[in-house]
């Protein structure tokens, strides 16, 4: 399930503009600063691949990376920018929700949650929206290498993960699959790639 080839393909503004070759895809999404670019780079073992999507103007797009010429990793805009005006956030919502509902080749959304801090309302809302709309989802807990800190609620990543799972239980018929990761130690990297391979082979 390793990545031998990774290539940036395109940035799309609308779902209709996304690649039309029918290859299966997995979308990474999460609050800004959750560690999405770091995870993307760790998955493909490159330092700078995701930088393409961090260029000004590209952060608000759907960015497709073709892997091993057979499937896509998709980098979606981060949500919850504290500084973004309400209007922008609403646009963000419409834009990504349209993608989640209408992108037929989307196999699963990988929702990134920062395990080094207590559950955030916006993440719970996001998970609940995906659950209610029956969008297939995998929870990816990031920054699991971080030690507990008083200013972050004083809990270990394992405890934050457990709290988050308990909080979202009510939104799902079955608890979504989840993987604990760190881009510093590469924890969870192989597990994610294996999980993606299994989902593609269904």
Rule CB under 6 A: which residues touch ligand GDP? Answer: 30, 32-38, 78, 142-143, 145-146, 182-184
Shortest Å, Cβ 182 to ligand GDP: 4
Of 108 and 182, nearer to ligand GDP (C-beta) is 182
What 3-state DSSP class applies to 136?
coil
Provide the 3-class DSSP secondary structure of residue 27.
strand
In the complex, residue closest to ligand GDP by CB: 35
State which residue, 130 or 180, has the beta carbon closest to ligand GDP: 180
Where do runs of H (alpha helix) occur along 34-181? Answer: 36-44, 51-54, 86-102, 121-132, 157-168
CB 123 within 8 A of CB 29: no
Output 70 or 181, the one with its CB closest to ligand GDP.
Answer: 181
CB burial of 70-108 (b: ≥16 within 10 Å; e: otherwise) equals ebbbbbbbbbbeeeeeeeeeeebeebbeebbeebeebbb
Tokens of 153: 């609620």
Compute the least distance from the CB of residue 34 to ligand GDP, in Å: 4
Nearest-approach distance from CB 107 to ligand GDP, in angstroms: 21
Helix axes 36-44, 189-200, angle to 10 degrees: 80
What is the closest distance, in whole angstroms, from the C-beta atom of residue 54 to ligand GDP in the complex? 7
Nearer to ligand GDP, 16 or 93 (CB): 93
- Smallest gap from residue 191 Cβ to ligand GDP (A): 14
């Amino acid at each position: 399930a390793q990545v031998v080839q990774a290539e940036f393909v395109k940035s799309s503004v609308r779902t209709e503009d996304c690649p039309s070759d029918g290859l299966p895809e997995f979308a990474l999404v999460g609050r800004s600063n959750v560690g999405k670019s770091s995870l993307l780079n760790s998955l493909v073992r490159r330092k700078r691949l995701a930088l393409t999507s961090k260029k000004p103007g590209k952060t608000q797009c759907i960015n497709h990376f073709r892997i091993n010429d057979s499937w896509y990793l998709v980098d979606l805009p981060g949500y919850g920018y504290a500084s973004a005006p309400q209007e922008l956030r609403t646009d963000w919502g419409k834009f990504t929700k349209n993608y989640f509902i209408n992108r037929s080749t989307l196999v699963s959304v990988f929702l990134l949650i920062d395990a080094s801090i207590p559950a955030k309302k916006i993440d719970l809302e996001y998970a609940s929206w995906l659950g209610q709309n029956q969008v297939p989802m995998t929870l990816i807990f990031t920054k699991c290498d971080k030690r507990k800190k008083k200013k972050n609620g004083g809990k270990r990543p394992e405890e934050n993960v457990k709290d988050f799972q308990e909080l979202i239980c009510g939104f799902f018929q079955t608890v979504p699959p989840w993987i604990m990761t760190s881009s510093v130690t590469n924890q969870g990297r192989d597990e994610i790639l294996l999980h993606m391979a299994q989902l593609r082979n269904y």
